[in-house]
Structure 1
């Protein structure tokens, strides 16, 4: 690639990030305009776009499927019912609310992608916040951060974990045994930070209305069908890859969405068009745009340069290389969205191992899975950096984008700088805990 093109890519991407950070325009519009500029300059071409499609299809399928299932469940009243039950459990205490929220998000994210978890629990959070008379922004931001941490509990908890697990050849159950503990630590780190970062909510005390009781579920037969679609999707996440004809998580998400749409079609609860109107297309488009930027940045050769730098600086000191990746990828994911950052970092990490002669050059391909056990801590460090580093900024993860979008839709926009006040301390503490986990993991292999 000509050097002038590389400078143009860096300049345009920097301008896009500046527009988002300074709130000069909508972030999706900024990302699209940047790609338009690169296209007019002759830098972005059709093969680049198709490679971005191939790289993002799994992550976007997981997000889209989860969004559809969550939206189909909305007319059943199940979220209002769950919100009232949560409110009763809090007994008017903001502290209990945040702690119960931690448990709820952790459980949901263990079986569903993190952005989907945010969509599912958001109506519950908004219901409780209104009754406790607290600002929804804090709990919604906390939910995004919890979902990013809890997304590390399973292979399908975060599109980024799926990308790394797929690259390394980890099955759902193998991931549970080797990586999930790191997700537990990332969640645990958040608890002592809650009184400091979300103090107003933590100290809230309210008297609840007497006789508070959850409303009955509306359209129980339709609700059962929609919940069955969700259960099918979760079941396929768990066993799909071990079936005679393997079904990978993105395919399972699309199947679950299809069943949910069938429930809407057959029950005629509402027009199917309403479901598609409510899908967060802006977030999906923004993530795809970020994947396109990663593709262009990859063309500049900077990732191959990083691989050579890792090899030159650390040689076969895998633990130190892992720590460096944890910090550097963590920083990058705050500004480039963690899904595309992790997708690019996988290639960089593979290149590092090829340079070490630990694996053949074929390992750079998507189908190679014969990785030595000693490589796992490095991949895990890179994955944790990408996932938890994304907590630092508003655009750092799909869950952050979804959470902020929900706040805006409910009349409470969240600015880039406001999110930083929560995100930076959380990301730093979680990355420190992740470094300890990577060290422990390296000692057990």
Structure 2
């Protein structure tokens, strides 16, 4: 069964990468074959946390897509787009840096998928106003969201799994991971002009037009904006405090969406039309194929091979976990990878004598899994969502166009993280 699961995933992945078949068709086709051959059953798909569809991700996306769809009717995205362009004085590079920083910081306190859903419409409008391609901006933002999401316990789902398994608090992440994320963000910002060379030319006439606009005139429905603002504030508070109120972010998003649907007074086509149904179906298919890899032991076997290669050396273990996590998280979803790897890291950590060595293993897993999400177009949920938004906006981003940029950023961020782990937990630990 393991061979079958690997073969199905490899073929589906090749079809997605080649773009000869639409990625949703490839994912659902692979999932259908997995189910038809009996690799997974209904219990595995619908009810298992380890091998099934991650309904928290699906319904978080669904709820936030509805909220964003309603928010779009207020004109606030147009307002923000004009405001950002004017503050950057029409410079495309300064606009990119501003949006990247906003995205990264927001992703540390919300989940990065939510941040992408909110920032993408603004980006599309800014680029439309300046008559430039939005593709480099969308790619840069989603890369920044995966970097920024690594900073806190709640910024990226793998961090929540690691925090629970290792007994690490919100403050532990702030003290240990946030410093390196700040460094990584600075490096990434410096990399932007080279990474997206040739993407910052703007017609001076368009800049002049932007500077003459009054962003306040873009607001079309102030009453609805106030309602959306109150609901979003409550939703964000729920995201941040979900561990205290014991309500998952997916339910918080659905509750917020429900309140807005009831109070906005919009026809259902206005908010259901904003839902990326193809993206949700793609995730479902991908989760099923990855679940087959988990159930058949493929992911665990890879993790065991990695741990055997360590040989008891704490520094080698840390660097190997960092590198392997970045590579595998870029190819498969980092949530099941971290869920599978966590017990193995716990066993390794239990055999370490020094507390700093133990901590380093967990931070290596977190950084590798989070930064590895940038490696390919399907390495992180935020990547898939952003590509779906770009396609609907008639600015499709190909698998390889994203992956060429993402692979560079992953290599750089992992290369910067490695000496940080060595210096902090071994050289001066």
Question: TM-score scaled to structure 2, two decimals?
Answer: 0.89
Alignment CA distance shift 1:72-1:175 (3 Å): farther
Residue 359 of structure 2 corresponds to 376
| 1:73-99 superposed Cα distances (whole Å, 9 cap, x missing partner) | 111111111111011112121121122
Structure 1: how far apart are the matches of 2:237 and 2:183?
A: 26
| Equivalent residue, structure 2, for 1:259 | 256
- The answer to whether the 8 Å contact 2:150/2:371 transfers is no
For the pair 1:343 / 2:336, whether they are aligned, the reply is: yes
Aligned-residue Cα RMSD (Å) equals: 2.6
Number of aligned positions between the proteins = 421
Distance 1:105 1:90, change over 3 A: same
Shift of 1:17: 0.5
CA distance in 2 between partners of 1:44 and 1:113 (Å): 29
Aligned partner of residue 359 in structure 2, secondary structure = helix
State the shift of 1:161 in Å. Answer: 2.7
Aligned counterpart in structure 1 of residue 392 of structure 2, from 409, 420, 423: 409
Matched, 1:150 2:148: yes
CA shift, 1:374, in A, is: 4.3
Distance 1:199 1:128 in 2: 19
Distance 1:28 1:62, change over 3 A: same
5 Å-filtered alignment, 1:172-211, equals: 172-204=170-202, 206=204, 207-209=207-209, 211=212
Name which of 19, 24, 35 aligns with 1:23: 19
Deviation per residue, 1:312-352 (Å, 9 max, x gap): 3224323322211221221222222xxx3342233224124
**CA distance in structure 1 between the partners assigned to 2:62 and 2:314 by the alignment:** 36
Is 1:433–2:416 an aligned residue pair?
yes
Which whole-Å CA distance do the structure 1 matches of 2:420 and 2:371 have between them? Answer: 13
Question: Structure 2 vs 1, CA of residues 354 and 107 (structure 1 numbering), >3 Å: closer, same or farther?
Answer: closer
Report deviation, 1:275: 2.1
Distance in 1 between residues matched to 2:290 and 2:231, nearest whole Å: 34
Other-structure match for 1:220: 222
**SS in structure 2 at match of 1:146:** helix
Closer, same or farther: CA 197–356 of 1 in aligned 2, 3 Å: closer
Quote the Cα distance in structure 1 between the aligned partners of 2:280 and 2:222. Answer: 31
Does the CA contact (< 8 Å) of 1:230 and 1:256 recur in 2? no
Give 1:393 deviation, angstroms: 1.6
Query: Superposition pairs for residues 233-248 of structure 1, below 5 Å?
Result: 233-242=235-244, 246-248=245-247
Equivalent residue, structure 2, for 1:365:
none
Give ranges in structure 1 of 5+ residues lacking alignment.
360-371
SS in 2 for 1:199: coil
Q: Is the 8 A contact 2:112 2:382 kept in 1?
A: yes
Q: Give the structure-1-normalised TM-score.
A: 0.86
Offset, 1:299: 2.8
Q: Which residue of 2 aligns with 1:81?
A: 79
State which drifts further: 325-334 or 82-91.
325-334
- Where does residue 316 of structure 2 map in the other structure? 320
C-alpha distance in 1 between matches for 2:372 and 2:212: 44
Please tell me whether the aligned partners of residues 70 and 264 of structure 2 are also in contact (alpha carbons under 8 angstroms). no
> Which segment is superposed worse, 226-235 or 377-386?
377-386
Match of 2:198, SS state, is: helix
Aligned mates of 2:115, 2:387 — CA distance in 1? 14
Q: Whole-Å Cα distance in 2 between the matches of residues 252 and 71 of structure 1?
A: 18
Q: State the Cα distance separating 1:29 from its structure 2 match.
A: 1.4
Q: Residue 212 of structure 2 aligns to a residue in which SS?
A: coil
Deviation of the 1:273 alpha carbon: 5.1
With 55-64 and 145-154 compared, the bigger mean Cα shift is at 55-64
**What is aligned with 2:111?**
113
Distance 1:342 1:238, change over 3 A: closer
- Aligned with 1:35 (options 7, 31, 36): 31
**2:296 aligned with 1:295, yes or no?**
no
Indicate whether 1:424 and 2:407 are aligned: yes
Structure 1 runs of 4+ off > 4 angstroms? Answer: 52-55, 355-359
CA distance in 2, matches of 1:353, 1:315: 16
- Give 1:30 shift: 0.6
For the Cα contact (< 8 Å) 2:74–2:222, is it kept in 1? yes
